Amino acid sequence: DVKVTQSSRYLVKRTGEKVFLECVQDMDHENMFWYRQDPGLGLRLIYFSYDVKMKEKGDIPEGYSVSREKKERFSLILESASTNQTSMYLCASALVGYQGGELFFGEGSRLTVL
Amino acid sequence: AQTVTQSQPEMSVQEAETVTLSCTYDTSENNYYLFWYKQPPSRQMILVIRQEAYKQQNATENRFSVNFQKAAKSFSLKISDSQLGDTAMYFCAFTPDNYGQNFVFGPGTRLSVLP
């Protein structure tokens, strides 16, 4: 079974702190994603990566950056956390070329910024 | 731009009964893929069912089936014999290709199955 593991389920940070959210997948998927989930808004794409060191901005990249130094690991970075970044963050991976590519999700990281 | 709409923010159903969740989407693509994902409380999101647009036959997975109306751009999910474990957020999603890159999600429907 594909496993996508997010490093922290719950985090509480202070405004201005730097925050790292890490995600690891074990199925050699090329594509990895970071989504933000807010009530009534569904999932909004922050960034995705289609290869090591490659990234593309999603719909809401402002205030976030990402890093993919190894194929299996995709990190989301909040350089200076703000209260409006309090949210649930979901990591996902998908296989390139898989017919109707299915997304595999991690359990999510709930971030609270005080 | 492609969009996915779920018009029912919340629904409830009695255990063992049938419920239908609605989803509409907007795209100019001719072939694409549609999904229903389930997110149980405090648990990870999983795929419930997938439909390829060029296939006319509606997809089914055990108690879950879809009503895919391509001309109307409608993709509803029917859950038969509802169980308490079906309580979850349900997201309708769309991707225009099989490159595994471009997914658009609806806002979700919170389904409660009542004992």
pLDDT at A100: 64
For residues A102, A78, A53, A60, the Cα torsion angle rounded to the nearest 10 degrees is 50
pLDDT at A24: 97
Are residues A100 and B103, on separate chains, in Cβ contact within 8 Å? no
Which three-class secondary structure string do you get for A35-68?
A: EEEECCCEEEEEEEEEECCEEEECCCCCCCEEEE
- Region A12-40: mean pLDDT is 94
pLDDT at B1: 73
Are residues A42 and B107, on separate chains, in Cβ contact within 8 Å? yes
Report the residue of chain A nearest B100, measured CA to CA.
A101
pLDDT at A2: 65
Q: Enumerate residue ranges in chain B where pLDDT < 50.
A: none
Q: How deeply is A2 buried, as exposed, middle or buried, from its count of CB atoms within 10 A (0-12, 13-18, 19+)?
A: middle
pLDDT at A27: 87
Any CB–CB contact under 8 A between A98 and chain B? yes
Are residues B106 and A90, on separate chains, in Cβ contact within 8 Å? no
Helix, strand, or coil (residue B92): strand
Query: Which residue in A33, A40, A97 is closest to B99 by CB distance?
Result: A97
pLDDT at A40: 86
CA B35 to chain centroid, in Å, comes to: 6
A103 CB neighbours in chain B (<8 A) are 35, 37, 45, 47, 93, 100, 103
Tell me how far apart the alpha carbons of residues B9 and A102 are, in angstroms, rounded to a whole number: 24
Any CB–CB contact under 8 A between A16 and chain B? no
pLDDT at A15: 97
- Region A87-111: mean pLDDT is 87
pLDDT at A80: 96
pLDDT at A99: 61
In sequence order, what E strands does chain A have?
Answer: 4-6, 10-13, 19-25, 31-38, 42-51, 54-57, 65-70, 73-78, 87-94, 104-105, 109-113
A48 CB neighbours in chain B (<8 A) are 101
B40 CB neighbours in chain A (<8 A) are none
Are residues B99 and A107, on separate chains, in Cβ contact within 8 Å? no
pLDDT at A1: 67
Handedness of CA A78, A84, A86, A88 (dihedral sign): negative
Tell me how far apart the alpha carbons of residues A75 and A5 are, in angstroms, rounded to a whole number: 12
